[in-house]
Amino acid sequence: MVLLANGAVPGEPVKTDKNSRRGNWGNQIEFILTSVGYAVGLGNVWRFPYLCYRNGGGAFMFPYFIMLVFCGIPLFFLELSFGQFASQGCLGVWRISPMFKGVGYGMMVVSTYIGIYYNVVICIAFYYFFSSMTNLLPWTYCNNPWNTPTCNGVVTPTGINNTLANVTRSLVTGAAEVAVEVVNKTKRTSPSEEYWKHYVLKISDDIGNFGEVRLPILGCLAVSWVVVFLCLIRGVKSSGKVVYFTATFPYVVLTILFIRGITLEGAVTGIKYYLTPQWHKILDAKVWGDAASQIFYSLGCAWGGLITMASYNKFHNNCYRDSIIISITNCATSVYAGFVIFSILGFMAHHLNVDVSEVADHGPGLAFVAYPEALTLLPISPLWSLLFFFMLILLGLGTQFCLLETLVTAIVDEIGTDWIIRNKTVVTGGVAIVGFLLGVPLTTQAGIYWLLLMDNYAASFSLVIISCIMCICIMYVYGHKKYFKDVEMMLGFPPPIFFRVCWRFVSPIIISFILIFTVIQYKPITYNDYVYPGWSLAIGFLMAMSSVTCIPIYALYKISKSEGTTFLERLKNSCKADIKWGPALSEHRIGHYAAPSSEGEVEVRPLKEELKEKEDEKRDEISLTIQGSNGSTAHNTTPSA
């Protein structure tokens, strides 16, 4: 079965395939760019390169792409087809099996946590972007009021000093003097690190010591939320236009930084360090666990965003093709970003005369300490700094758009009234205001501790559990055969056998492996030398469990409200697909989806068609009987199969 050029299945009348009440993407490019912007985020720049060199360099690519093929792309396709078929957000799709609607609420909780701290990271990138609008980057030298006596920069006031890696600079009465002893790397604190800790964050000594709100960061947080709100003011109609820039320009910046990076001395050393295969590590289970985790978290599975974005597609859109394009683009971006990052870090290591591992970092340490310091070594450093932080802002916004849209769509779809649909902008504004207020504690002097706590716990093993339960529900509770027929009705062809096997067996096994790996490899979170107290770790676990507990709580609630005299009857009825499950538009509700429902519009037509077919069959039988009785014509009256 194939689709015609207009997206209709052969034999069907030409249809508009447009959801005018809820809205659709302007065109397919908007959906692909939005999904790429959602999947390609800050983790591609500050986590993947670090994982790659830590887990065997080029050898890590092998398990990474294995996990992409057997887990990443199948899960991506499953979520896209799920949302597109029902044209509903992460709550509405659970009409497929109402008892599991708690999975949708869990996705909303996860997206809320991520949306809160993700925008704080974006606001810090805004802060650095604004700080780069100067002739001299403020984290270049150690002669600032916030610097300590241990500060030791890599740049002299007259420019780059190639021998600086072998000497120590000490501060005497605010002036830099060059000493003749070897730099003790373990004691050196860079000006960029001190700018980050003592000026931008004014970091406190404990997670419980909030101190003051950092007003510059708070202002940038307000700017971040205003930008996100304005880009989503008309839902996918406005965000679909914005992504033409936000999803593509980061690649322009990456390319510019890459060209600049590979021309620097020491860049080849950095890239070799990034890619040199250490084949013996392939046998290490930790390497496979990191590869699976990175694929899973990088693609944004189980956040609810993929379901939401796909729900605005037209019914016959080829989401199978889209899932492959977007997944491969995401992973290729990670690999490409590694070249950009390590070419610059190799250049910095060359100037410091140290190993690349001593300047490499991940997370905020790479984005706001290591890389900014490396940029001070480049001519016209403010220009490169502006480009780098502008790229971080765009990468973050692409993900943040989808996180906010996930929450707004879930609320609007759940209420479903004409008023709420017409006033979706009000809901968007309300969610943005709440998100801003919840992010205020992260702008205090203890904010970085809370940000990292949320990053490590709010969306960790809970995502794995949510994704695993989603696979089990669709494949085994609803039924894999029914779902395969749904996909065939939507796309015009059944899912390839590879994906059918992955959905039923391979992907759930890999997801279970990720969960086991996460538990076995668990270590209490630390930030540099700071060890988190037990009570803060307990809060972290509560955040992680808050999304997972939505599933059993809602399941028990649904069972108690279902019809039946015994628990098993209630359980069975709560698992059955809701009568409203299926395509959103009446023109697509064919076959068993054409059964009568509360709307009572479309469903009468298939009944009439069925009666008409029966009348035609009766007329044919009468005709055959009459012709056979006079012996004039011989007919085979045996009906065909």
| Residues in Cβ contact with 390 at an 8 Å cutoff, skipping those fewer than 6 apart | 129, 249, 253
CA distances from 51 to 57, 258, 294 (A): 8, 20, 9
d(CA 310, CA 300): 13
DSSP state of 577: P
Structure tokens at 270: 């950095």
44 is in an annotated binding site: yes
**Phi and psi angles of residue 355, each rounded to the nearest 5 degrees, phi first:** -75, 150
| Residues in Cβ contact with 147 at an 8 Å cutoff, skipping those fewer than 6 apart | 171, 191, 194, 198
Query: How many CB atoms lie under 10 A from the CB of residue 65?
Result: 16
238 is in an annotated binding site: no
412 is in an annotated binding site: no
37 is in an annotated binding site: yes
d(CA 213, CA 442): 9
147 is in an annotated binding site: no
162 is in an annotated binding site: no
The residues with which 526 forms a beta bridge, in sequence order, are 531
In which residue are the tokens 């065939």 written?
A: 488
DSSP string, 73-136: HHHHHHHHHHHHHHT--TTGGGGGSGGGHHHHHHHHHHHHHHHHHHHHHHHHHHHHHHHTSSSS
Give the up-direction half-sphere exposure of residue 487: CA atoms within 13 A in the CB hemisphere.
Answer: 25
Largest CA distance in the chain: 123
What kind and span of H or E run contains 390? helix 381-415
370 is in an annotated binding site: no
d(CA 229, CA 639): 63
Give the up-direction half-sphere exposure of residue 422: CA atoms within 13 A in the CB hemisphere.
Answer: 3
Structure tokens at 286: 């930790």
In which residue are the tokens 């780098």 written?
A: 388
Query: How many CB atoms lie under 10 A from the CB of residue 596?
Result: 12
**Secondary structure in 3-state letters for 424-456:** HHHHHHHHHHHHHHHHHHHHECCHHHHHHHHHH
10 Å CB burial of residue 571 (0-12, 13-18, 19+) is: middle
Binding-site members for Na(+) are 37, 39-40, 44, 298, 330, 395
Binding-site members are 37, 39-40, 44, 298, 330, 395
